[in-house]
Amino acid sequence: MGESDGVSARLAALAGLLADETRARICVALLDGRAWTMTELGRITGVGASTVSEHLTKLVEGGLLAQERQGRHRYVRLADARAARIVEELAAHVAPGAPAPRTLRAASARDAMARARTCYDHLAGRLGVAVTDALAGHGLLDREGGFALTEAGTAWFAAHGMPLDRGSRRPVARGCVDWTERRLHLAGLAGAVLCRRALDERWLVRIGGERALKATPEGEDALAGLLGLDREIFR
């Protein structure tokens, strides 16, 4: 078997991991960047504990998930930013064909996700795109020259208590296709640092059981002050 055959076999194995709807749903749920228990994932997928366990084992062995145990609980999360990017980009390809929600609750959840959510460890939805636009508009992000922070952008992050670890293997900034807005939002180290600051300061809080976020009144003030965001973006 040649090198190309080996790559093809590994690619087919990776695609097979996400070819099952239950495993795909697990990976999409884990795009919130948190570690989940088997019980929580069983509740979301609607399948029994033994079946969830089998799927998780395949995803861990395939390198998409990492796991750890605390007492009786088995926690799993996406293995790393690269695994998250695979799921993100595939989701961006298929999201436009998603069926319309059938209930008011489902429609409300869809709208909340579209307004603001986490995409692994960075901001997405209308808010994520608006933040990216604002960074570019203030000359802090260069979207024309390879989606990179400018010198002013690096200084802005440091000045606002969000220093960037230049020793990290992650790119400082990269564009991630937003599957609801169909535009790029900020990912990479800068996107992660900004999202973590917003959650730590409770500018944004999680709502529902998945990835949707909501700005607090303090968060609206902070983000509007830092980036000049139109407050309508939070509605």
Give the residue carrying structure tokens 């260069």: 142
Helix axes 125-137, 104-115, angle to 10 degrees: 20
What is the phi/psi pair of residue 163, to 5°?
-65, 145
Q: Are residues 70 and 126 in the same domain?
A: no
Highest mean pLDDT pick, 61-75, 76-90, 212-226: 212-226
Q: Are residues 114 and 50 in the same domain?
A: no
Q: Per-residue pLDDT averaged across 147-162, rounded?
A: 95
Phi-psi group of 109: left, alpha or beta (phi > 0 → left; psi -120 to 50 → alpha; rest → beta): alpha
Contact, 147 vs 184, CB < 8 A? yes
Write down the mean pLDDT value for the chain: 88
Task: Sort 122 into a burial class: Cβ within 10 Å, 0-12 / 13-18 / 19+.
Answer: buried
DSSP state of 71: T
Residues 34-57, buried b or exposed e (16+ Cβ, 10 A)? ebbebebbbebbebeeeebeebbe
Residue 201, CA atoms < 13 Å, CB-side half-sphere: 19
Contact, 59 vs 65, CB < 8 A? yes
Is the pLDDT at 12 greater than 80, yes or no? yes
Give the residue carrying structure tokens 């990179």: 148
Residue 90 lies in a domain: no
Is the pLDDT at 151 greater than 60, yes or no? yes
Q: Are residues 56 and 125 in the same domain?
A: no
Is the pLDDT at 1 greater than 60, yes or no? no
Q: How many domains is the chain built from?
A: 2
Contact, 213 vs 206, CB < 8 A? yes
Give the pLDDT confidence score for residue 111 in this predicted structure: 83
Q: Per-residue pLDDT averaged across 77-84, rounded?
A: 89
Residue 73 lies in a domain: yes
Residue 89 lies in a domain: no
pLDDT (tens digit, 9 = 90+) per residue, 89-137? 888 777 655 566 667 776 777 788 889 999 889 999 999 999 999 999 9
AA identity, residue 178: D
What is the phi/psi pair of residue 65, to 5°?
-120, 155
Q: What CATH number did the domain enclosing 49 receive? A: 1.10.10.10
Give the pLDDT confidence score for residue 100 in this predicted structure: 63
Q: Which is more confident, 9 or 91?
A: 9
